[in-house]
């Protein structure tokens, strides 16, 4: 991973015209169902934020690419869910993700509009919330409002840890070679831990609020 990030960082610095499409594709991929579960978008966004903080790339194409990619990724996932409906969980490609989709469905039933907005910031369900919103036939207008609003907030928040880490390292005279990537690696680790703990806590608290009079059952998937 470190070698990949180092090579990507060098490529972006040498070919800054590719900054916007690279960030757009990374953000789009993170929001896509299935793809978002495996793509290392958080690491890449922290790296790019670090390059911004170091003054090596312009922030404008980065922010534009991140917001547009996030919005488009959620739209694609929503359309897939709307098109295939609840029966999507019985398709071979999605069967292994039935537990994750079931948890997201419970989250969506409880929070509705807020689930689409908040889901973008919760790693465990980030890429499945738009899919479930489509499955549950959420209104197009309400979905798009939550989608765009969350993307506008998500982009700078994802870039901020890397940006601030690089700025701090630069002020201490550490921003060179391995020093920069060490700082980014530390920020990445802290961000990943915070995201996972936050997502798990919210999902567990959701389950704890369910009625105690009967055994908890998984949400039926038709």
Chain segment 19-43, per-residue pLDDT in tens: 899 899 988 988 887 777 677 777 8
Q: Which residues contact 192 (CB under 8 A, 6 or more apart)?
A: 42, 123
Enter the pTM of the model. 0.73
* C-alpha count within 13 angstroms, C-beta hemisphere, residue 118: 13
Token readout for 44 is 């890449």
Give me the chain's average pLDDT, please: 77
**Section 214-220 average pLDDT:** 46
Report pLDDT for 126. 82
Report pLDDT for 154. 92
Q: 10 Å Cβ neighbour count for 136?
A: 16
Least confident range from 90-104, 140-154, 173-187: namely 173-187
CA-closest candidate to residue 41, choices 50, 33, 51, 31: 31
């Amino acid at each position: 991973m470190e070698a990949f990030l180092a090579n990507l960082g060098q490529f972006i610095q040498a070919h800054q015209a590719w900054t916007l499409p690279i960030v757009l594709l990374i953000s789009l991929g993170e929001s896509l169902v299935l793809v978002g579960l495996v793509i290392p978008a958080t690491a890449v966004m922290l790296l790019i934020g670090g390059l911004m903080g170091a003054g090596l790339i312009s922030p404008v194409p980065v922010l534009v690419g991140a917001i547009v990619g996030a919005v488009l990724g959620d739209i694609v996932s929503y359309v897939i869910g709307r098109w295939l409906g609840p029966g999507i969980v019985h398709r071979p490609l999605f069967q292994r993700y039935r537990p994750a989709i079931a948890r997201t469905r419970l989250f969506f039933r409880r929070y509705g509009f807020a689930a689409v907005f908040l889901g973008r910031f919760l790693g465990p369900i980030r890429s499945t919330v738009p899919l479930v919103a489509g499955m549950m036939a959420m209104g197009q207008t309400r979905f798009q409002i939550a989608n765009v609003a969350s993307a506008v907030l998500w982009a700078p928040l994802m870039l901020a840890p890397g940006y601030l880490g690089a700025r701090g390292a630069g002020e201490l005279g550490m921003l060179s070679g391995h020093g920069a990537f060490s700082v980014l690696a530390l920020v990445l680790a802290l961000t990943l831990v915070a995201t996972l703990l936050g997502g798990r806590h919210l999902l567990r608290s959701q389950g704890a609020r369910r009625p105690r009079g009967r055994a908890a059952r998984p949400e039926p998937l038709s």
